[in-house]
Chains A and B, each alone.
Chain A
Amino acid sequence: MLTLREVSKCYGTIRAVDRVSLRVSAGEVVGLLGPNGAGKSTTVALVTGLLRPDTGSVTIGAGGDPSNAAVRKAIGFAPQELALYDTLTAAETVTLYARLYGAFRSRRQVLEALDMVGLATRADERVGGYSGGMKRRLNLAVALVHEPPLLVLDEPTAGVDPQSRAHVRGIIRARAASGCAVLLTTHDMEEAEKLSDRIALMDHGTVQAEGTVDELVAMHGSGSSRAARGLESVLLKLTGRELRE
């Protein structure tokens, strides 16, 4: 569903993404992990068509370039920041994005989409009055409303309570089970382990390691304790312990 081939992107002299190759198949959840400044956000921007690669190619489905507006209809994007309009209601927000993606949704369909994220009863309230967790769930509903075959989720559970986190994870699993390809960035190792079929560990703009959790731990894990053999220790081993900007 999503293929990146030798993709590079530079900002001036800084090489933010360096010859990254990645594939996400239908029904698969791929977690993109890495410290701050590793190149995850630039990769997401390249996948969603917000940036064009300097070299290499990004392909959605059967040969679609995401810089082409029509191809972006296949992508459901939930950015890390809560990019919502405070003075619109949840129903108006979902309806707006459905229209923008060429999907006309009736009031009933909009309420169903909101019900999926547990917001149907508060569909006509303005988003400005929502809690952080509710906004995060609405952010996801907006990405899902046009039922895209590819979901790109940039830290979908950042800053939410355990209940909302569990709810969001349930939705992601359900979408993947229905055949949706999911590219997920997160700093939450537990989330990555629970949700991802495969994980790509990025640092300095390159993919340092890729595989299932078990494969990564087997290849790069050290020590005998459970903690030392976890994904976090693998990440720290591959990317170092120095603080990042």
Chain B
Amino acid sequence: MSGALLALVRKDLRLLLRDRSAFVFTMVFPLVIAVLFGLVFGRMATPGPIAVALVNEGSGPLADAFIGALQADAALRVERVTSREEAIARVRAARCCAVVIVPEAFDSAAEALLTGGSMPLEVLGDPSRSAELGLLQGKLMEVGFVQFMLSVGDSARLQRQAALLRALPAADMGTSEGERAAILDLLGAAQRLAEAREEKARRRSEKQIDGEGAGAFPRLGAFRPVRIAQSAVVDDPARPPSSFAVTFPQGVVWGLAGCVMAFVTSLSVERSRGTLRRLCAAPLSMHMVLASKALACFSMVLVMQVMLMVLAVTAFGVRPVQPAMLLPAMVAIAVAFTMVAMAIAALFQSLGGSEGAGRSVILILALLGGGSVPLAFMPPALASASAVSPFRWAIAALEGPLWRGGSMPSQVAAIGAVLLVALIAAAVACCALSFRRSAA
């Protein structure tokens, strides 16, 4: 008897594995979903530096210093290109969010900061990435401010600025003679301060060469109006350590949907093609034929889950917090979804019914259960409604051992919820079959 059962299971697994579309939906599609969603959610959770294309049309030391400061900023990824066209092409290809153009007149304008000038920059941005453009603008202002403070601490530049100011009529500056005199006094004082600091720095530098050592000498360029103390928030146990820890259970949802549909469809195909009738004419009971289908479905569900979990751990860095609870959870899920498949097969017996209504029911339940949008991102009402989906409980049972952790009773409760799904599905299957028998 067991030989016949094994032969039937082997036959069902062969049929499933040789059906390309069923194989893709049960084995390949879940993996693609898990990896794709993992990459997308991972990118959303931890954005990288802002990619910017930079064109330097200037040739002075101030432009070089400004560009050097931009390149040194960890929040930016600056790619220098030689022409505007090339830079714009990069924005169009979404390789960066904006082009920053340092114009030819940058140095001369930067020299005249204290006489009403400003550092000219041109930014051509991708309008769909407004958040990144806002961040870029803030970064440009920050780097510009640092460059300004450096110029205030440089005696030679202050001297040049003072000379420029004296040569410029007050009317051109939009100030009165008195205000211009006050600015010149301020520049003179700043220049003297800068010279004194530079002399002190030179002496310290000589002593350092003599082996006396030297402490850091604060320059005006190091002036920061706001000092930000930044540190990482302690890991929240309610947050997954990686996006793949969330998306691989999502992948399992789609694998479960694929297995259930493959099983339901195979039973309908057997009915419509007469092979089920032939099996029933063999020395087998109908229960045995159904048991073999269920065993094949159980095996497929379990293999699919094990494959996804092994890949999650070995290739995507997911580290289960309670690995010992993974196998019981996967076995419980396999039992539950075998029963779900039986229930749907009992409810929709015709080929059209199983492929149409059955597929729709499974698809809706999978979406509602978190197969597409993780439960954490669902609106509260939808998250509550997801309780009717067996897929939601499968995700809960897998997420516990994968990253949520929690006490043993809470894990057992999650597995219990999955087994309750199995019981409900079995009851639905029995009711549907007895109703059909009585109707016949």
Residues of A with Cβ closer than 8 Å to B?
Answer: 48-50, 69-73, 75, 77, 79, 81-85, 87-88, 92, 95-97, 99-102, 104, 142
Assign chain B's interface to a size class.
20 to 34
Inter-chain contact B4/A87, CB cutoff 8 Å: no
**CB<8 Å pairs between A and B, sample of 18:** A49-B281, A73-B283, A77-B278, A77-B281, A79-B274, A81-B274, A82-B274, A84-B275, A85-B15, A85-B275, A88-B14, A92-B11, A95-B7, A96-B11, A100-B279, A101-B282, A101-B283, A104-B3
A180 to B392, CA, bound (A): 58
Alpha-carbon gap, A158 to B207, bound state (A): 110
Docked-complex contact A69 and B278, CB < 8 angstroms: no
**CB within 8 Å of A: which of B4-30?**
4, 7-8, 11, 14-15, 18-19
Contact A99 B7 (CB under 8 A): yes
Asked whether B278 lies within 8 Å of A92 as measured between CB atoms, the reply is no
A91 to chain B, nearest CB (A): 12
B283 lies within 8 A of A96 (CB): no
CA distance A180 to B109 in the complex (A): 109
CB distance from B124 to the nearest CB of A (A): 58
A49 to B14: give the CA distance in the assembly, Å.
28
Which listed residue (B8, B14, B283) contacts A72, Cβ 8 A? B283
Bound: A146/B17 CA distance, A:
28
A-B CB pair tally, cutoff 8 Å: 67
Q: Is B280 an interface residue (CB 8 A)?
A: yes
Tell me the complex Cα distance, A12–B285, Å. Answer: 25
B273 close to A (CB within 8 Å): yes
A-facing mask of B241-273, CB < 8 A → 1, else 0?
A: 000000000000000000000000000000001
**CB–CB A79/B282 < 8 A:** no
- Pairwise interchain contact B3-A99, C-beta atoms closer than 8 A: yes
Closest Cβ–Cβ distance, residue A114 to chain B (whole Å): 18
Judging by beta carbons under 8 Å apart, are A99 and B281 in contact?
no
Q: Are B283 and A70 in contact, CB atoms less than 8 angstroms apart?
A: yes
Taking CB atoms, residues of chain B closer than 8 Å to A71 are: 283
Determine whether the beta carbon of A100 is less than 8 Å from that of B14: no
Instruction: Give Cα distance in the complex from A104 to B4, angstroms.
Output: 10
A82 to B272, CA, bound (A): 11
Known interface pairs A85-B15, A102-B3; A97-B275 also in contact (CB < 8 Å): no
CB of B275 within 8 A of CB of A72, answer no
Closest to B20 in A: A87
Decide yes or no whether B277 CB sits under 8 A from chain A.
yes
Q: For B285, what are the chain A residues with a Cβ–Cβ distance below 8 Å? A: 69
Residues of B near A77 (CB, < 8 A) are: 278, 281-282
A84 to B277, CA, bound (A): 11
